[in-house]
Amino acid sequence: MKINTSIYYLLGISLLTTSVSCSNFLDTEPITEQQIDLTNPLKTATDAENRMNTIYNAFGNEYWQLDYFFNGDAQTDISYAGADNVQNFQQDEYRILATNSNVLRDWKYLYGFINDCNMILNYVDEINDPSLTSARKAQMKSEAAIMRALYYFHAVQLWGDVPVVTKAVIGVNSANFDEVYSQVYPARKPIQEVYDLIISDLEGSLANAPAGSEKYKANKNFAYGLLAKVYATKPNPDWAKVKQYCNNISGVSLLANYDHLFDGNHEGNAESIFEVDGNAGSVWAWGTSMFTGTDWKKFNVPSNDLVKTFDDENDLVRKASTIKFSTVSWSDNFWTSNNYPFMNKMRQTDGKQNFYILRHADILLLQAEAAVRTADYTGAAGYINQVRQRLSLPTVTISSESDGINKVLKERKLELAFEGHRWFDLKRTGKAIEILSQQKDGNGSILSYAGNINQDRLLWPIPQGQRDNNQNLTQNPGY
């Protein structure tokens, strides 16, 4: 059906093309007297495969190459902001403004990614191309559902209540105006409703998701692992579900050599559950240069606290894989120029750096957390000690829930530093304010900005630019 009237469509989302990039999914722009085809924008198997490529090619953009790692780690005790971007300093120092351009950028990215997933979920079944089998359609929908769940999981952890948009709107007429309006100008939905969608997407994906051996796709093991994290993070966590879904993951094991995880010679390894294939092709891993190199001061500068934690634990193996010290041409309030640290897990600068979205050690430590929360302290220690064993570190014991959570968090800090998890770990366990308010510099003095952290600052502000365009969006407290 074609219409010839005044319509609105989503700014930056071409009706028939494949990429949203930095465009703003929830902004609108009027177009008058245009003929808009409201039939399925995906006509052929090639159209559908191109849209799937768009979903995975997103791992090469700014959100995944830079912001994901910055958001997860620079806001915590393991790193300083680094570089010289004032927007990043706001994040690092818990004084974000609603006009922060990084916050707006990430909102746009996440809802753009969601739109690409919605295109598959909404339209792939309508394609009448004999070369696109029903089995392939079902797998595409499973992969898109897993990825949509991942992005909503990011959004709900960053902002709390967020809009739930499940339709890829391609046009509007009098018949679909009400539905389109609610998708283009959505109100925020309660956190529980967002988690309900995430869980529905993930559990619905399991029957047709790729096998866990397909580590570069949104696979079944990843869906299980993401479900475990979601059930651990949502309001009123369900630890039985966490245990169930962790136990459903199969065919993975810890690598014997920790550094093999990051050396570039063991990609798609036994420990990997889902990883990004940085291959200088569809995903050019340019982000490495944001974190390592002596040509300019990089982002996510390792903190004095992280170095001290490695040293206090005598954890030489993970320290060497995680942090690299170099001589540079600058110094700052934290480090001298002749011994300046860089994160070392993202170390390949040729565009071929792989990175993990989820790996087995993360799941083992999540199992430890679930065991602690259900008073299985012996079991919890066992999971932690599996991770420590490959490093020849002493075993731990756990005496109480508080002791167990502290030990889980310390192990996650050492094991997963600079993989984008710390901020969300601290929030999930209820330890963010307690730990981040006591951050210290190299002299043992509490950082001047540590006192900025409070309950309101555990969520980001809704971007002011979004609220200017959509009167249905309310603001988070404290902004």
Q: Is 439 domain-assigned?
A: yes
CA distances 289 to 109, 262, 284, 301, 334, Å, are: 21, 15, 12, 13, 21
Q: Is 130 domain-assigned?
A: yes
Report, as an integer, the average pLDDT of 81-110: 98
pLDDT band at residue 178, thresholds of 50, 70 and 90? Answer: confident
CA 50 centroid distance within chain: 23
CA distances 390 to 198, 248, 259, 315, 415, Å, are: 34, 23, 11, 11, 11
What b/e sequence results for 158-186 when a residue is b if at least 16 CB atoms lie within 10 Å of its CB, and e otherwise?
bbbbbbbbebbbbbbeeeeeeebebbbbb
Burial of 347 (0-12, 13-18, 19+ CB in 10 A): middle
What b/e sequence results for 135-154 when a residue is b if at least 16 CB atoms lie within 10 Å of its CB, and e otherwise?
ebbbbbbbbbbbbbbbbbbb
pLDDT(7) > 80? no
171 versus 465: the higher-pLDDT residue is 465
Cβ atoms 335, 376 nearer than 8 A: no
Of all residues in the chain, the percent with pLDDT exceeding 70 is 92
Nearest to 142 by CA among 241, 224, 45: 224
pLDDT(364) > 60? yes
Whole-number CA gyration radius for the chain:
23
Question: Would you state the pLDDT for residue 187?
Answer: 97
Rounded to an integer, what distance in angstroms lies between the CA atom of residue 200 and that of residue 86?
39
Taking each helix axis as running N to C, give the angle between helix 101-123 and helix 134-159, from 0 to 180 degrees, rounded to the nearest 10: 160
Cβ atoms 79, 70 nearer than 8 A: no
Sign of CA dihedral 442, 447, 453, 459: negative
Rounded to an integer, what distance in angstroms lies between the CA atom of residue 192 and that of residue 197?
9
Nearest to 15 by CA among 180, 257, 182, 256: 180
Residue 197 structural domain: 2-264+267-276+355-469
Q: Is 59 domain-assigned?
A: yes
Tokens 């989302």 sit on residue? 13
Question: Would you state the pLDDT for residue 39?
Answer: 76
pLDDT(113) > 70? yes
Q: Is 476 domain-assigned?
A: no
Predicted confidence (pLDDT) per residue in 137-167, tens digit: 999 999 999 999 999 999 999 999 999 999 9
What's the mean pLDDT when you consider all of the chain? 92
Burial of 279 (0-12, 13-18, 19+ CB in 10 A): middle
Predicted confidence (pLDDT) per residue in 267-315, tens digit: 999 999 999 998 756 788 999 999 999 999 999 999 999 999 999 999 9
Q: Is 309 domain-assigned?
A: no
**The tokens of 64 are what?**
């995944």
85 versus 278: the higher-pLDDT residue is 85
Rounded to an integer, what distance in angstroms lies between the CA atom of residue 179 and that of residue 167?
9
Q: What is the CATH number of the domain that holds 440?
A: 1.25.40.390
Question: Would you state the pLDDT for residue 175?
Answer: 80
Question: Would you state the pLDDT for residue 182?
Answer: 86
Q: Is 37 domain-assigned?
A: yes
Backbone angles phi, psi at 353, to 5 degrees: -70, 120
Please report the beta strands in 64-219, taking only residues with DSSP state E, as ranges in sequence order: 79-82
Predicted confidence (pLDDT) per residue in 372-414, tens digit: 999 999 999 999 999 999 999 999 999 999 999 999 999 999 9
Burial of 441 (0-12, 13-18, 19+ CB in 10 A): middle
Of all residues in the chain, the percent with pLDDT exceeding 90 is 86
Q: Is 465 domain-assigned?
A: yes
Alpha helices in 295-359 (DSSP H): 304-313, 316-322
- State whether residue 338 is helix, strand or coil: coil
**Helix, strand, coil content of the chain in percent (nearest 5):** 50, 10, 40
Report, as an integer, the average pLDDT of 197-223: 98
How many domains does the structure of the chain reveal? 1
Nearest to 305 by CA among 426, 144, 183: 426
Report, as an integer, the average pLDDT of 450-462: 98
**The tokens of 57 are what?**
């090619």
CA 174 centroid distance within chain: 38
Rounded to an integer, what distance in angstroms lies between the CA atom of residue 413 and that of residue 275?
20
Rounded to an integer, what distance in angstroms lies between the CA atom of residue 42 and that of residue 7?
21
Cβ atoms 72, 300 nearer than 8 A: no
Q: Is 299 domain-assigned?
A: no
